[in-house]
Homo-oligomer: A and B are copies of this chain.
Amino acid sequence: MTKNGDPLLDENFLTLNQFLANHYSFSVQDSHLVFNKFQFLEAKKNTLLHRQHEVCEYAYFICQGCVRTFFTNRKGEENTRYIAFENNFVSAFSSFITQTPSLENVQTLENSKLLKIKQSDFFHLVNSHPTFSKLYVHSLEQAQVISTWRLETMLSMTAKERYRDLLERMPQIILRLSNKQIASFLGITQESLSRLKAQK
């Protein structure tokens, strides 16, 4: 799975390594233990990593690229719930946590380099490994902060206000992704977004 025997010598594992070391002070032997559970995966743009209605088996750490999670509603429209770039974990977390069928899809939006980990391995690490457990709890807390922000913008702002807010908070989304993806994230149509931008 890695280019050679030792994960630590692989540049993609190095990304994860730096992330763990910077944010969670993982030691070298901690990291080795953790890395053994991850598999490297290169995925082209628009690859579906997980399909809705299935039980989500994997979480992904993004070394490079971009991944979103989205629903498709009755009308067949796609609504994007979450977009993640480098140095973040992404998954259909509700399903990943509860091992029940998911409501959402997981898909790359750019050619991406990923490290994936199986659900059972992930929670084995959470339960046996205090530092990894801290990472998990912290991720849950962060997810809550982001959800709360998103919900607040949807409850209180017009589409134009949401666009401006997004430009401040997550400029990467606007700089790196297509209007179609931005509109799906803002909860409006492409046409509406196009008009917002024209108005400035």
Contact = CB atoms under 8 A, between A and B. Distances in A.
Interface of A: 71, 73, 77, 79-81, 93-94, 97-98, 103-104, 136-137, 140-141, 143-145, 147-148, 150-152, 154-157, 187
A51 B186 CA distance: 29
Nearest to A75: B156
B71 A103 contact: no
Most buried by B among A147, A150, A187: A147
Contacts of A157: 73
B143 A144 contact: yes
Q: How many copies does the complex hold?
A: 2
Contacts of A154: 151, 154-155, 187
A128 to B, nearest CB: 13
Contact of A151 (B73, B97, B140, B151): B151
Contact of A147 (B148, B156, B187): B148
Contact of A152 (B71, B140, B144, B155): B71
A141 B97 contact: yes
B152 A79 contact: yes
A180 to B, nearest CB: 15
B94 A145 contact: yes
A148 B103 CA distance: 10
A85 B80 CA distance: 30
B187 A93 contact: no
A93 B151 CA distance: 15
B147 A151 contact: yes
